[in-house]
Amino acid sequence: MMTRLPLRLRIFLFFCLLAAGGAAVAAGTLAFGWSRGEEALPAMPFITALVAFAFLNTGLVLGIWLLFDENIAKPIDRLSADLRLRAHSGVDREMDVEGARYLGDLARAARALSRVTGSSLTDTAARVARETQRLQSEADRLTAIFSQLPIATILLNPAREIVLYDSQAAEILSRIAPARLKARLADYFDLGDFSKAVEELPGAPSAVPFRLQDETGEHVFDAKLKALGRDGFMVLIDVPEAPTQDVAPRPLVYDFDLLNSSETKDVEETRLSDLCFVAFDTETTGLSVEDDAIVQIGAVRVLGGRIVEGEVVDTYVAPGRPIPPASTKIHRVTDDDVKGAPDIATAGRALYHFARDAVLVAHNAPFDVGLLRKSQLEMGVDWSHPMLDTVLLSAVVFGTNEDHSLDALCERLSIDLPNDRRHTALGDAQATAEVLVRLLPLLEGKGLVTFGHLVSETRRHGRLLRDLNT
């Protein structure tokens, strides 16, 4: 049980035990002296002496504990956090040797070790970067080719979840709901004709043609279905108008790890590395959940511990009221920016579909989530997603006494957050996603590998923020 408590709390309990033990020894000594008296002595002087000793002893122990906590326990926590940053997230931040000066040679030895391992990691990272650049060049060529073909391509795993889609498929999917990896095909289309095509595949000499349409019948496409062995299916959708040569290539979005789909578990039991996260942020007319409105929404998806390039939400929202100049001064969103923008019902539904089957992540989440839940009746949705707050995640990793602001976290985790993107919804959402990606390995390194275990740990810091998973 004691091993699960934070180091500083264990040390505090140790000093409490010392204070209680000292008082108990003093009480026993005084009681023994009183009982050995040759004649009956009044007990009050002994009791007064015991109370005075207990008070002074507790004050002395408390003072020593404060010195020990500030000069020993806190530096050990910071040193361990720095080592975890290097070990699990590759953050090469200079260690605070001066702050750990009372730890003897421990901090300097840790810095020397991290520099040696950091040099090796730098060489490895350089080789990986060169190989990544080569693969990216090939991916860019493939993207350019896909962008010019009059066919939209979607790959599905055996669970009929999207593993890959090209730019033209993204445009088709976005007519119904935001395109996203790991989304079920059923989130976009009626699967009646698709299921019939699947049944015809084993005896078909080639791709099986079928009609692909959404549930309303508003969007209907001619498509073909090909089997990918045991890995799933390829859906080829005819595009009525082929793109011109002047169309700029859009990203080819894929994650082939999704081909090895596993049975969906209860989110509480799911490993953090298997979850999909949507980091989001809002800009508003003010700081009141009850009285203010959203003027901008930004969101980024994180899958397999990586940010999914090309999958974002970035939209202005018409608040239905003038934006106060004081708010515009912070987020730079003006009344002209939100003219003609979707209302909260439309923008909120789009974000809801973008975050379907995902864990919502925000920095100081009660504010942003409270604004969404306030308008959920207008949106016609229920914001009951599981939630994580990067403030609480930071407290779990770095302790409650550190600065947990978004700026401080970005500095601590070596994340670049340019001033022109700070206090924009997408800029802050991107920063929150990068913070999450850096924190996940640190959390797993501390033994917090499932969502349920992590939420239980964050609730220990519930005094910082209201828990949104209850």
216: domain CATH number? Answer: 3.30.450.20
Residue 139 falls inside a structural domain: no
Residue 352 falls inside a structural domain: yes
Residue 244, pLDDT above cutoff 50: no
Residue 467 falls inside a structural domain: no
User: Residue 155: helix, strand or coil by DSSP?
Assistant: strand
**Which residues partner with 301 through β-bridges?**
278
pLDDT number for residue 247? 44
Residue 226 falls inside a structural domain: yes
Residues 287 and 225 in one domain: no
Q: Which residues contact 428 (CB under 8 A, 6 or more apart)?
A: 281, 298, 363, 406, 421, 422
Listing DSSP states for 67-124 in one string gives: HHIIIIIHHHHHHHHHHHIIIII---PPP-TGGGGGGTTHHHHHHHHHHHHHHHHHHH
Residues 46 and 70 in one domain: yes
- What total number of domains does the chain contain? 3
* Containing structural domain, residue 243: 149-256
Task: Name the residue with higher pLDDT: 85 or 330.
Answer: 330
Residue 115, pLDDT above cutoff 70: no
Residues 248 and 290 in one domain: no
pLDDT number for residue 248? 45
Residue 218, pLDDT above cutoff 70: yes
Q: Which amino acid is at 53?
A: F
Burial 207-239 (b: 16+ CB within 10 A, else e): bbebebbeeeeeeebebbbeeeeebbbbbbbeb
Residues 444 and 342 in one domain: yes
pLDDT number for residue 403? 87
Q: What would the mean pLDDT of 364-386 be, rounded to a whole number? A: 93
Residues 317 and 410 in one domain: yes
Q: At what angle do helices 167-174 and 106-148 cross, to 10 degrees?
A: 90
Residues 207 and 288 in one domain: no
Distance CA 44, CA 36 (A): 16
Residue pLDDT, tens place only, 275-306: 999 999 999 999 999 999 999 999 999 998 99
Residue pLDDT, tens place only, 332-358: 999 999 999 999 999 999 999 999 989
Residues 249 and 267 in one domain: no
Residues 176 and 320 in one domain: no
Where among 207, 229, 256 does a domain terminate?
256
Q: Are 79 and 95 spatial neighbours (Cβ–Cβ below 8 Å)? A: yes
Q: Grade residue 245 by pLDDT with cuts at 50, 70 and 90.
A: very low
Q: Grade residue 440 by pLDDT with cuts at 50, 70 and 90.
A: very high
Residue 2, pLDDT above cutoff 80: no
Which of the residue ranges 1-15, 187-201, 417-431 would you say has the lowest mean pLDDT? 1-15
pTM reported for the whole predicted model = 0.76
Q: Is the dihedral of CA 123, 126, 130, 133 positive or negative?
A: positive
Query: Dihedrals φ, ψ of 315, to 5°?
Result: -145, 145
pLDDT number for residue 16? 87
Residues 313 and 415 in one domain: yes
Q: Grade residue 113 by pLDDT with cuts at 50, 70 and 90.
A: low
Residue 81, pLDDT above cutoff 80: no
What is the rounded end-to-end Cα distance, in angstroms, of the chain?
25
Residue 404, pLDDT above cutoff 60: yes
List Cα–Cα distances, 255 to 131, 172, 251, 353, 387, in angstroms.
Answer: 18, 19, 13, 20, 24
Distance CA 212, CA 75 (A): 61
pLDDT number for residue 246? 45
Distance CA 33, CA 27 (A): 10
* Strand pairing report for 233-238 and 294-303: unpaired
